[in-house]
Amino acid sequence: MSRQKNKRHISFRPRCHKFIPENNGDMEIISLLSEETEALYLMDLLGMYQEEAAQKMEISRPTLARIVKSAHHKVALALLGGKQLNLEPSSAPYKIALCSDSANAPFYLTLPKSKYIHIFTLNHHIIESHKILNNPLFLENAKPAIVLTTLFTQERINLFIANSLGEGFKSMLSSKGIQLLIKESMSEEDIRVLW
């Protein structure tokens, strides 16, 4: 009898769930489990070591090593074999961040050095929580790309909404797997329908 699988902590939400080769002669589909996607995100995109990534996923290091090995094999098989790659959707909540000088909705999005950072946790179009942080950039003369990207990574943000961003900041967010949406303002209803 096999052991029951421990629950893995999954937070990353990929933007796409299906990759189909242009010349799709081979109809075989390879599925990447949400735990495998999370392991790739933590190790390959964020550059974590196995011990740290295992702690984030709340699993042992040997278990993480097996998950990463399986994920790498599946991705290589799909890319080199010209097969369709599907990413299993995660049931983890979706986290959205935005910067605003307003503590209340509607949120008029301003530069990343605004007074507040709003973090919304969504699950199936329901706002589960709304956390308001004092923006560390408001009084400091620091680089948003470094300070906010680090904060968003720690908070496990999936999407950052802003009215404009510099190319360096966009690149930093992208390298950490954080999606970007450019908007002038957002209401709670607008946020609710994003995920």
Average pLDDT over residues 117-134: 87
Query: Do 64 and 100 fall into the same domain?
Result: no
Q: Is pLDDT at 1 greater than 60 in this prediction?
A: no
> What CATH number has the domain bearing residue 74?
1.10.10
31 falls within a domain: yes
One-letter amino acid at 148 equals L
Asked whether residue 2 carries a pLDDT value surpassing 50, the answer given is no
Percent of the chain scored above 70 by pLDDT?
Answer: 90
**Local structure of residue 60 (DSSP, 8 states):** -
Q: Are 186 and 160 in contact, with CB atoms under 8 Å apart?
A: no
The rounded percent of the chain whose pLDDT value lies above 90 is 23
Residues in contact with 110: Cβ distance below 8 Å, sequence separation at least 6, in sequence order: 99, 100, 101, 163
For residue 4, being part of any structural domain is answered with no
The mean pLDDT value for 88-99 works out to 81
pLDDT at 29 over 90: no
Q: What is the pLDDT of residue 114?
A: 85
Tell me, yes or no, whether 125 and 41 share the same domain.
Answer: no
| Final residue of a structural domain among 87, 118, 143 | 87
- Residues 62 and 110 placed together within one structural domain of the fold: no
CATH code at position 173 = 3.30.420.130
Q: What is the pLDDT of residue 10?
A: 78
Domain stops at, among 87, 113, 145 = 87
148 and 163 in a single domain? The answer is yes
**Residue 176 CB burial class (10 angstroms; 0-12, 13-18, ≥19):** middle
| Complete edge-to-edge strand list for the sheet that includes strand 179-182 | 126-134, 116-123, 94-100, 159-162, 179-182
> Token pair of 113, please?
């050095």
- Is there a single domain that holds both residue 107 and residue 188? yes
**For residue 38, which of 3, 10, 17 has the smallest C-alpha distance?**
10
Indicate if 165 and 79 belong to the same structural domain. no
Name the least confident of 14-18, 59-63, 135-139, 165-169.
14-18
Per-residue model confidence (pLDDT) at position 168: 87
In a domain, 154, yes or no: yes
The letter for the amino acid at 31 is S
Question: Which residues 6+ apart lie within 8 Å of 9 measured at CB?
Answer: 38, 56, 57, 58
Would you state the structure tokens that stand for residue 117, as one six-digit string?
């950072």
Q: What's the domain count of the chain?
A: 2
Give the domain range for residue 123: 94-192
Q: pLDDT by residue (tens digit) across 38-93?
A: 999 999 988 989 999 999 888 999 999 999 999 999 999 998 888 889 988 776 67
Find the mean pLDDT for residues 140-145: 81
Q: Can you give the pLDDT at residue 44? A: 92
Same domain, 113 and 181: yes
- Residue 144 located in a structural domain: yes
116 and 148 housed in the same domain: yes
Q: How far apart are CA 179 and CA 112, in angstroms?
A: 15
Average pLDDT over residues 111-134: 86
pLDDT for the residue 164: 82
**Domain end marker among 48, 68, 87:** 87
- What integer pLDDT is reported at residue 52 of this predicted model? 92
Residues 98 and 186 in one domain: yes
